[in-house]
Amino acid sequence: MYVQSKKVAPWSVKDYVKVILCFFVNYVILGVLCALATFINKGMRWEAFSGYFLSEQGKNNFAYLMIALFLLMVVIFLFYYNENRDFIKKPKNVVMMFLIVFVSLIISYCVGMWGSVYARPIALCALLTLMLVNRSSAIFMNFAMCMITFLMDIYTGADYFGEYQNAEFSSLVIGFSAGLIGIYLISGIKSRVKVLVMGLVISVPIILMTFVLEGMDFNRLYLPVLTGISAGMLSVALQMVLLPAFEFVFNVLTDYRLSEITDHKYKVMKKLIELAPGTFNHCLIVSNLAETCATAIGESSQVARAAAYYHDIGKIRNPGFFTENQQGKDYHEDLTPELSAQIIMSHTTEGAKILKRYRLPQILVDVAQEHQGTMHIRYFYAEAVKMTDGEVDIKKFSYPGPKPQSKIAAIIMIADASEAKVRTLKDRSHVNVDAAVKEIIEERMDADQFSDCDLTIRDLSIIRSSLVNALAGVYHDRVEYPKLKIGKSEKK
């Protein structure tokens, strides 16, 4: 799942060169795969293969195939450049996108060549793209994958359609329909068992089309049913098998991985619970607040929850120096304000290092680094001012940043500070909580902390309202219980 920001970062000439070169390399790889398919289709005999390319028809076919694939590459580039420019700006994402295509293409070809052409897992590319990128990309790449498969079926001399006339075109229809059905049915499903069940539904268009090609012969109904079910189930089964590999290699955050890393038994989470239990409890509250705010402004509540869980992970380096983990002794008493500030500020950079070491998704790394922005630590700055008669460089007491680059990072910045401030209030009435949250937001707006993300005034208003309601609920006033001693006689 790629977390997309509506704010598009500018491209340099270097960015254009890198992305275009990456597309060109993948275009060449696609051409090599087509040549290899042609070689296999010619019986893996060099004479037949070279003879095909020396013939006028063979040269024309392959030239047409490569031109068509080139135009398709241009269309793919234009789609992502206009719809998700930040995604393809990173060559790693382009490699992942085409690797999905290549793996799906190779598996589909092998199943069609040595199994049944109608058992091909034609929806595999769409399902992997859905899980690893987003739904709009999955819809488009389903179209691209169907076109590439169709072109290879037509122009590489494939002969696995047998006696069926125009079966190549029916395969194109099967690919479009099965892929789209899979995308819309599986989108949002977080249970692997339910995803497997959806494989049966994906099989429906394949069964119908195969049944028609069989001449609607009810005596041979078992054939379209078996091949259709095989294609649908194979698509979802392979998606589930391949997904963890893509998650690991490209460090992508998916719904399944979100469930894994937010489990309290996950290795990094266990460290936080063991070494900094106070910070862990703080992170739990912030995660609930962040979820509420993210849902309210249309962001991913799951991503917000996971990012909030890990935003303070850097505190496990020096847990005793943070108030929520202190039990009596204040370690800052023996330190200068400058050194105390450096220890406190280091939790953002240390958190990013820890998350990178454990290969956790980039959005979590970003939030750990960005959730304090470039704010300064007011308490230690004030202490330093007292000790030096005001001659203090405030930069030494300011977090290194960067400022929040996404709405989720901004949400966690506000939720984190609001929770800490409200916890210190003696009177936690709705009015006081609202005043505290308002102060936190205005302080960060005055410090220009939201200039690098696409957070709007309307978003801030919604976030404020959501936080006030949630915090007033968490820290509501409780009735003071009367002191009563009830003995056995009273119980009777």
pLDDT digits (tens, 9 = 90+) for 286-322: 999 999 999 999 999 999 999 999 999 999 999 989 9
Asked whether residue 303 falls in the same domain as residue 432, the answer is yes
Q: Does residue 491 belong to any structural domain of this protein? A: no
Q: How many angstroms separate the most distant Cα atoms in the chain?
A: 109
Q: pLDDT tens digits for 421-454?
A: 998 888 888 899 999 999 999 999 999 999 999 8
For residue 118, being part of any structural domain is answered with: yes
Between CA 287 and CA 303 the distance in angstroms is 10
Question: Which pLDDT score, from 0 to 100, does residue 299 have?
Answer: 92
Within this chain, do residues 246 and 270 fall inside the same structural domain, yes or no? no
Query: Is omega for the bond preceding 244 within 30 degrees of 0, making it cis?
Result: no
Same domain membership, residue 278 and residue 219:
no
78-92 average pLDDT score: 92
Q: Please give the pLDDT value at position 129.
A: 95
Average pLDDT over residues 88-104: 95
- Please list the alpha-helical segments (H only) found in 214-276: 222-250, 255-261, 267-275
Residue 78 has pLDDT above 90, yes or no: yes
Structural domain contains residue 479: no
171 and 93 in one domain? yes
Q: How far apart are CA 453 and CA 9, in angstroms?
A: 10
Query: Cα dist. 122→118, 204, 338 in Å?
Result: 9, 13, 61
pLDDT at 332: 85
Per-residue confidence (pLDDT) for residue 403, from 0 to 100: 95
Q: Over the chain, what is the mean pLDDT?
A: 87
Percent of the chain scoring above 70 in pLDDT: 89
CATH code of the domain containing 428: 1.10.3210
Q: Is the whole model's pTM more than 0.85, yes or no?
A: no
Please give the tally of structural domains in the chain. 2
**Is the C-alpha dihedral spanning 174, 176, 181, 183 positive or negative?**
positive
Q: Report the pLDDT value the prediction gives residue 481, as an integer from 0 to 100.
A: 46
Contacts of 66 (CB under 8 A, 6+ apart): 31, 34
Whether the pLDDT of residue 7 is over 60: the answer is no
Q: Domain of 135?
A: 13-252
Same domain, yes or no: 401 and 296: yes
Q: What is the mean pLDDT of residues 92-101?
A: 96
Q: Clarify whether residues 332 and 223 are in a common domain.
A: no
- Do residues 190 and 176 share a domain? yes
Residue 478 predicted with pLDDT over 60: no
Residue 157 shares a structural domain with residue 197 = yes
pLDDT at 479: 47
Alpha-carbon distance 111 to 231, whole Å?
Answer: 10
Identify the weakest region by mean pLDDT among 99-113, 156-170, 221-235, 448-462. Answer: 156-170
446's tokens: 């005055």
Q: Which of 152, 145, 134 is nearest to 235 (CA)?
A: 145
312 is a domain residue: yes
pLDDT in tens, 308-359: 999 999 999 999 899 888 877 778 888 888 999 999 999 999 999 999 999 9
Contact of 474 with 436, CB cutoff 8 Å: no
- The answer as to whether 119 is a domain residue is yes
Q: Are residues 234 and 358 in the same domain?
A: no
Among 413, 399, 423, CA closest to 281: 423
